[in-house]
Amino acid sequence: MTRSAIYAGSFDPITHGHLDILHRALNLFDYVHVGVIHNLSKTPLFSMAERLDMIQQSVSSDRVTIASFNGLLVDYARKKNIFNLIRGLRAVSDFEYEWQMALINRDQDNRIDTVFLMTDRSYSYLSSSIVRQLATLQGDIHSYVPPYVAEKLKDRIHGHH
Name the residues annotated as catalytic: 18, 42, 90, 128
Indicate the residue whose CB is closest to ligand ADP: 17
Does residue number 84 form part of the binding site for ligand ADP (CB under 6 A)?
no
Nearer CB in complex with ligand ADP: 40/161: 40
Q: Which is nearer to ligand ADP, 121 or 160 (CB)?
A: 121
Q: By CB under 6 A, tell whether 126 contacts ligand ADP.
A: yes
In our burial notation (b when 16+ CB lie closer than 10 A, e otherwise), range 70-109 reads eeebbebbeeeebbbbbbbebeeebeeebeeebeebbeee
| Angle, alpha carbons 96-99-55 (nearest 5°) | 95
CB 144 within 8 A of CB 126: yes
Nearer to ligand ADP, 31 or 117 (CB): 117
- Interface residues toward ligand ADP, by CB under 6 A: 9-11, 15, 17-18, 20-21, 87-88, 90, 94, 119, 123, 126-128
